[in-house]
Amino acid sequence: MGTLTMICLALLGAIATWGVFSRHVDDTLGQRVGLSVVAIGCFVRLAQRIAYDLPQPPIETLVILFGVTVYAVSTAVKIVCARRGISDRRGRGAAHGC
């Protein structure tokens, strides 16, 4: 569980940072500020976990973190695919790849 938490924190922090600084993400100022807070929070928690060997968060927190990470990765893939000009018109929720 500790490894999964650290992977999720690192991925989410990296994707949020990319989203803040990417010119390809069409967000409002409020959304960019929110992503900044998420990125900073992820990296702070990751550093605390490594430096102080903090106890595991409750399972509910890990489930939420995992869900948000999957959402962030999916959104990043969607943006990269759209940037490459790949579109899939099969409908919402259809499985597709770049």
pLDDT at 37: 94
Low-confidence residues of the chain, pLDDT below 50? none
pLDDT at 49: 85
Buried b (16+ CB within 10 A) or exposed e, 62-79: beebeebbeebeeebeeb
**Contact 61/35 with Cβ under 8 angstroms?**
no
pLDDT at 23: 85
The Cα–Cα gap between 32 and 25 comes to: 9
pLDDT at 68: 93
28 exposure class (CB count in 10 Å sphere: 0-12, 13-18, 19+): exposed
- pLDDT tens digits for range 67-81: 999 999 998 898 888
